[in-house]
Amino acid sequence: DALMIATDSSPQPQAVAESPGVAAYFIVLNIAPGAQAEEAVRSFFGNAAGLRRSVGQRLLGRELSLVVGIGSDAWDRLFGAPRPAALHPFKELNGEKHRAPSTPGDLLLHIRARTEDMCFELATQIMLALGNSVEPVDEVHGFRYFDARSMVGFVDGTENPEGAEAIDATVIGNEDPGFEGGSYVIVQKYLHDMQAWNKLSTEEQERVIGRSKHDDIEMADDVKPANSHIALNVVEDEDGNELAILRSNMPFASPSRGEFGTYFIAYASDPGVTELMLTNMFIGRPPGNYDRLLDFSSAVTGTLFFVPSQALLEELAAGNPFQTGDTETASSAVDASALASASASAPASAKSS
Ligand code: HEM
């Protein structure tokens, strides 16, 4: 039936729905100037899965995964039109008290595994492959903190969709032909004021998050504050259906420098869902009723990437596979007409050979 056919023919997504891992590397890169750098990055897209296999095969059971994301400007530079329908630069948000900045990033590498050595090795092999075609923008090493606690001590990821729902929430279907099996990802690096946070009593902290700290149970609706983190992050479409994203956040820290953070990373088939949640958090729902968690957390980065399906990522090594002959002819009209007059007797169908 139609559903079977659609399922069979839709391309395999990258490892977006993988569990957060025990260790994770979040690497944001810019592409260096010049056509040579662009070529090197495109050919890396063809090798990425192979590098992941080379490292991942070395130790069994380490669940090494890789997701490669491409920023909006980078897509234009590397591939031009056509482009994924919802790909755009991260939109900065300015609430009355808190700001979510938009920061640069051409490529995202999201590497997850059960041990950090795997993340290190894959990141190193990828950087060897990319060489000087890229420049570092940001790199964060996250770790699983006890029972998946976030830096603020509450279990993070509980209400994530699972199984088929996770695929549904994250993977682009036939709404954007050509980009099926793809996804969008938004990342934000947050730094926490742990001194201020730790001055709150556990009960006050629970009213900030909207769940109990020890056993991670959601507060009843009539006690959960309207400015709590989870109250503002439950969003619905016009028909009242709850909209979901898939978060793979990790804490990170450098205790000797007093740096304590959360790397927020969320996959969605429609980045508008994550953006709606961000609007609720930073502007407020209603405006002014912003997320109380932000009084203890500052967003220092914010970037949006398109995540091609596994098959598209590999195809992109040879350029944009959806660029039609028409587009090429139009952009090099002089060459095309010269070719046409030079081989006037050749059949039209032979012109691209
Ligand atoms: C839930 C932590 C940023 C969206 C949660 C929970 C915690 C948490 C502890 C409760 C457990 C769970 O269901 O996962 C944090 C921290 C953040 C952060 C420490 C960084 C400062 C964000 C951002 C978004 C977001 C930026 C969206 C743009 C959500 C959603 C839920 C959630 C959708 C589940 C709501 C529900 O269905 O109950 N977060 N979060 N979080 N968070 Fe965050």
306 neighbors 184 (Cβ within 8 angstroms): yes
Report whether residue 278 contacts ligand 1, using a CB cutoff of 6 Å. Answer: yes
- Pairwise CA distance, residues 17 & 91, whole Å: 24
Model confidence at 347, in pLDDT bands (50, 70, 90)? very low
Tell me, using a 6 A CB cutoff, whether residue 229 lines ligand 1.
yes
Q: In this predicted complex, what is the ipTM?
A: 0.99
Return the H-helix or E-strand segment holding 307.
Answer: strand 303-307
Q: Give the span between the Cα atoms of 126 and 328, in whole angstroms.
A: 32
Q: Is the minimum distance from the CB of 157 to ligand 1 under 6 angstroms? A: yes
Mutate to test the pocket of ligand 1, among 187, 249, 278, 279 (most ligand atoms within 8 A of CB): 249
Q: What is the pLDDT of residues 183-205, one digit of tens each?
A: 999 999 999 999 999 999 999 99
Q: Which of 18-22, 110-114, 139-143 has the lowest mean pLDDT?
A: 18-22
Mean pLDDT of 86-110: 98
For the CA of 150, the closest atom of ligand 1 is 19
What is the C-alpha to C-alpha distance for residues 32 and 133, in angstroms, rounded to an integer?
5
pLDDT at position 344 over 50: no
Residue 109 has pLDDT above 90, yes or no: yes
Structure tokens at 38: 């662009």
For 316-333, what is each residue's pLDDT tens digit?
999 999 998 654 443 443
pLDDT digits (tens, 9 = 90+) for 240-289: 999 999 999 999 999 999 999 999 999 999 999 999 999 999 999 999 99
Residue 91 to residue 102: CA distance in whole angstroms: 6
46, 26, 66: which is closest to 303 by C-alpha? 26
Q: Rounded mean pLDDT of the chain?
A: 91
At 307, which amino acid appears? V
Q: In this structure, are residues 157 and 148 in contact, taking their beta carbons and an 8 Å threshold?
A: yes
| pLDDT at residue 223 greater than cutoff 80 | yes
CB under 8 A, 24+ apart: contacts of 271-274: 271/86, 271/184, 271/186, 271/304, 272/86, 273/169, 273/235, 273/243, 273/244, 273/245, 274/184, 274/186, 274/245
User: Residues 6 or more apart from 157 whose CB is under 8 A from it?
Assistant: 20, 148, 247, 248, 249
225: left (phi over 0), alpha (psi -120 to 50) or beta: beta
Q: Token digits for 319? A: 């350029």
Residue 52 pLDDT grade (very low, low, confident, very high; cuts 50, 70, 90): very high
Index of the ligand 1 atom closest to the CA of residue 299: 21
The reported pTM is 0.91
pLDDT of residue 259: 98
Q: CA-CA distance, 178 to 9, in Å (whole number)? A: 12
Return the closest-CA partner of residue 281 out of 289, 273, 272, 269.
Answer: 289
> Ligand 1: distance of its center to the CA of 233 in Å?
7
Please give the structure tokens belonging to residue 258: 């007093």
Does the pLDDT value for residue 351 go beyond 50? Answer: no
Of 39, 52, 207, nearest in space to 132 by CA: 39
